[in-house]
Amino acid sequence: MRAARRAAQFAKFRITELNLVPLVDTLVSIVFFALTTATVGELSPVVPGVRLPEAHVGAAALQQLTLGVGPQVTLGGRPIMSTLDAARAPSNDASQPLLIPPLYAAMRVAADSIRQANKVAADQPLDVPLAIQGDKSMRYDLLARMMQTARLAGFRNLSLQVSKQEGPVDSTAAATGAR
């Protein structure tokens, strides 16, 4: 009698049917969204030819002051030094090993004249954007040195310019660098 009473008491907890449809629908939705939003697989195989710097969307960068890096390093259209000399220039400050002294001197003169024109204190960072136009073949270590030199000269708003391509974006062409 006791066994019958316990069986009746726990009968309400017995699972008679398991509905798997909501579980399967949830898993299919997760897989669908994971596959449609993951773009890492398309972007990672770029390495062999690497000719990336092109953009298909976005606003044009402000061109108030431009640092050009081609065969010559230019600031505001005026040549400062050759790119090879910039890459080879050792830092004259042990605490700033990325500093390029001739570029720093030219940027400091430009920053001081902008500060004077805008009536900004010498210890304040500049709000004027510095657009860096680098050649496709520019090395990243040189770019890092130039960005650090610009930061030390007082420029805080840096942008990297790329050429804007018209037309639809082909994801496989963009990922491989083909046009």
The ranges of the chain annotated as CATH 3.30.420 are 54-164
Which pLDDT belongs to residue 39? 54
Please report which residue ranges of 54-128 form alpha helices under DSSP H.
Answer: 83-88, 101-118
User: Is a pLDDT exceeding 70 seen at residue 175?
Assistant: no
Which pLDDT belongs to residue 62? 42
Please report which residue ranges of 38-100 form alpha helices under DSSP H.
Answer: 40-43, 83-88
Flag the least confident range among 92-96, 108-112, 163-167.
163-167
Flag the least confident range among 19-23, 32-36, 103-107.
32-36
Note the CATH architecture for domain 54-164: 2-Layer Sandwich (3.30)
User: Which residues fall within 8 angstroms of residue 140, CB to CB, at 6 or more apart?
Assistant: none
Average pLDDT, the chain: 76
Helix (H) or strand (E) holding 175: helix 171-176
Share of the chain above pLDDT 70, in %: 74
Angle (CA) 131-53-96 rounded to 5° is: 50
Sheet-wide strand order for 72-75: 78-82, 72-75, 65-69, 130-134, 158-161
More confidently predicted of 19 and 87: 87
Minimal CA–CA distance to 109: which of 63, 77, 154, 160?
154
